[in-house]
Amino acid sequence: MLKGIARYFHFDELGTNYRTECLAGLTTFVSMVYILFVNPNVMSASGMDKGAAFTATALATALGCFLMGVIANYPIALSTSLGMNAFFAYSVCIGMHVPWQTALAGTLIASLIFLVLTAFKIREVIIDAIPSDLKSAIAGGIGLFIAFLGLNQGGLIVADKSTLVTLGSFHVGSTWLTIFGLFVAVVLMSARVPAAIFISMVATTILGMCTHLIALPSHIVAGIPSIKPVFLAGVSHIGEINSVQLWIVVFTFLLVTFFDTTGTLVGLAKQAGLIRDNKIPRIGRALGADSLTTVGGSLLGASPMGAFVESSAGIAVGGRSGFTAIITGILFILGTFFSPLLGVITDQVTAPALIIIGILMANSLKDIHWDKFEIAAPSFIIVLGMPLSYSISDGIALGFVIYPISMLAAKRGKDVHPLMYILAVVFVIFFWLLNN
């Protein structure tokens, strides 16, 4: 049986094994488990039951991981998008006074449109139309973005009214916990120690508990909250999507999810070495799994789903097949039983991993033709735009608007795929609608 599973996931072809895949799945899980706690907190601001949101998040994430692992054989986990859950709760529900059930209906409609676009291979055509330089910029930009997330979550970089960002306080114990984890990770990575990122996480967790910077769990097992309050809640409210304002919300859900998850898939595929001749093998299956997950997640009661950048942690320790994603999915299901124990995985534990992963993903920047300004300009805007706008999709949008302009100015307009012109116009309209 084990040999059959290994053949199904092409272990020999991908140069991997059970030990590596299980360790990669565990590492990805540890890196992204915070979503189990962060997403319910954000979604509860909309009036949604926090316990139900917790269970919906876990089940939707597990569903996404299983679909991606089985259908596409990619080591990529899917979960609720942090940017979109904030838009859902604060902009739509609180800012526009839309009931969360109606917002879920909007998510469901956007997910169904998303599935149709995938079925007709429109997403696949768009990915193939993106030039290799911009694909490299997307991967590198995601690296800077998640490194910035790590620096911020670990307390090394904080917000500042005068300079926007500044160094955090070194008089805070939790900041030194991040520094310790980063030191361990850098030393082990430099020494080529296998599973260096995972080892640094374990060491940081142990030190945090020993120094009381991380609280010991009061108990290990807890009951699973009921999903009933949010399950299928959006289905009966679809008829309430009946105004221009709400259709703009649906369009925003669709467009941001489309490019957020597409950009993440491209970046992670680049990191895993899966791209060949500017094409990603089995991309149609990956996009299909992703689209089915968005529909399934909305039915379960979760905010918009997408590929998770923290999957790069598992890829960094050797994950290459869908078995990595399946292990992550299983752990998310088990995580619903052991929620008190998962509380020891704090921001200071995951922050060093995110910074190291950012360094690894920045490697793709070397593939950009920096000596050609018409290529360098949109690539740089993508790379810089992601961390500064705090959004993968916004960074992509800015670069995609600049790209055809710079190419036309360089008299290379014929080298631009027609879809790139269309996308530039779509993003200009998107920015206009978003700011009105």
How far is 92 from 120, CA to CA, in rounded Å? 30
Phi, psi for residue 140 in degrees, rounded to 5: -65, -40
pLDDT the model gives residue 122: 81
3-class state of residue 243 by DSSP:
coil
| Of 318, 414, 355, 310, residue with least CA distance to 79 | 310
> Is residue 339 predicted with pLDDT exceeding 70?
no
Q: Which residues pair with 155 in a beta bridge?
A: none
The whole-number pLDDT of residue 436 equals 60
Question: Are 403 and 424 a contacting pair, CB within 8 Å?
Answer: yes
Q: First-to-last CA distance in the chain?
A: 58
Rounded Cα–Cα distance for residues 211 and 304 (Å):
38
Confidence of residue 180 (pLDDT cuts 50, 70, 90): very high
Which tops the pLDDT comparison, 186 or 309? 186
Q: Would you state the pLDDT for residue 194?
A: 61
The predicted pLDDT at position 421 comes to 92
Look up residue 161 and give its two tokens: 């009214």
Distance in angstroms (rounded) separating the CA atoms of residues 222 and 214: 19
Question: Distance between CA atoms of 103 and 107, rounded to whole angstroms?
Answer: 6
Instruction: Tell me which DSSP letter residue 131 carries.
Output: -
> If you search the block for the tokens 């089985």, which residue do you land on?
70
DSSP single-letter state for residue 218: S
- Rounded-to-10 torsion of CA 100, 106, 108, 113: -170
CA distance 252 to 427: 11
Half-sphere exposure of 288 (CA within 13 A, CB side): 12
Q: Is the per-residue pLDDT at 233 higher than 80?
A: no
pLDDT for residue 407: 94
Nearest-angstrom CA–CA distance, 385 and 41: 27
Q: How confident is the model at residue 386 (pLDDT cuts 50, 70, 90)?
A: confident
Confidence of residue 335 (pLDDT cuts 50, 70, 90): confident
Answer yes or no: pTM beyond 0.85: no
The domain ranges of the chain are 19-129+158-244+277-358
Reduce the DSSP state of residue 276 to 3 states and report it. Answer: strand
Q: Are residues 360 and 312 in contact, defined by beta-carbon separation less than 8 angstroms?
A: yes
DSSP 215: P
Q: Which has the closest alpha carbon to 60: 330, 308, 301?
A: 301
Token reading at 344 = 């020891």
Give CA separation, 75 vs 190, 319, 385, 422, in Å: 24, 6, 26, 32
For residues 13 and 34, give the distance between their C-alpha atoms in angstroms, rounded to a whole number.
33
Task: Please say whether the beta carbons of 327 and 18 come within 8 A.
Answer: no
Write out the H or E segment, with its range, that includes residue 126.
helix 122-129
Contact predicate 345/34, CB 8 Å: yes
**pLDDT one-digit tens code per residue, 132-162:** 888 888 778 878 887 888 898 888 998 888 8
pLDDT tens-digit series, residues 238-283: 887 877 667 777 776 776 677 667 777 777 777 767 676 666 777 7
Predicted local distance difference test score (pLDDT) of residue 86: 65
pLDDT tens readout for residues 284-300:
788 788 888 888 988 99
**What is the mean pLDDT of the segment spanning 121-127?**
77
Answer yes or no: is pLDDT of 91 > 70.
no
DSSP annotation of 302 reads P
- Hey, which residues does 276 pair with through a beta bridge? 279
Judge whether residue 405 has pLDDT over 90: yes
